[in-house]
Amino acid sequence: MMIEDTTRPCSRGRGPGLVLIGYRGTGKSTVGRILAGRLGRIFLDCDLEIEARANRSIREIFAELGEPAFRDWEERTLAELTAGSPATVLATGGGAILRESNRRRLRDFGFVAWLTARPSVLACRLEADQRGLAERPALTSAGTLEEIVQVLRMRTPLYEGLADVAIETEEKSPDQVADSILDRWNSRA
């Protein structure tokens, strides 16, 4: 695939960054690493950056400090990672779109790709990931599938409103998802 001048801003007033948003289990980190490798860019995973700064796992932050404190860490970390509009590839946590300030920063940072899959597919992926199951804090007490349905009902308009492109991931390998993102990115206005 031909890759164009990827450091030019994607539209007026927006930076050269490439950011992945979407629910847990959509493959943001895996695809982000592939994209960064192909583009020769630095890859940043917001969750890992939060853990490094807080010196705790995400699960520990939720358990010891609660979700609002986690969201504060997330907001501060996103502000740092996007400051100065670096030409990086950034994978965000599934709830990074909840705060308006984060959405504004991510939009200014650059091109926003939203990775999607149906709740039933996400539930299968999350349940197959034993390590993730142990490490991932529950967001509700509803159980995996019902939690995804409930949380996505609330988040979908936020993902939709922020995204430059929605990429359906169900029938695609991570490499194919990366191809689709680059195609759409390269053909942006």
119 interacts with ligand S3P by CB under 6 A: no
Window 146 to 185, contacts with ligand S3P (CB under 6 A) = none
Cβ pair 21, 67 in contact under 8 A: no
Which residue from 15, 27, 32, 95 is in contact with ligand S3P, where contact means CB under 6 A? Answer: 95
Token pair listed for 82: 């996007």
Least distance to ligand S3P, CB of residue 67, Å:
8
The window from 35-43, 133-141, 165-173, 175-183 that contacts ligand S3P (CB under 6 A) reads: 133-141
- In the complex with ligand S3P, which residue's Cβ is closer, 94 or 110? 94
Q: Which residue is nearest to ligand S3P (CB)?
A: 93
Q: What is residue 15's DSSP assignment?
A: -
Q: Which of 98, 99, 91, 112 is nearest to 31 (CA)?
A: 91
Least distance to ligand S3P, CB of residue 58, Å:
5
Element (H, E) at 168: strand 165-168
94 interacts with ligand S3P by CB under 6 A: yes
Which residue from 24, 41, 105, 107 is in contact with ligand S3P, where contact means CB under 6 A? Answer: 24
49 interacts with ligand S3P by CB under 6 A: no
In three-state secondary structure terms, 80 is helix
Q: What is the C-alpha separation between 62 and 161, in angstroms, rounded?
A: 27
Token pair listed for 145: 């599938």
Crossing angle of helices 58-65/67-82, nearest 10°?
Answer: 130
Least distance to ligand S3P, CB of residue 172, Å:
18
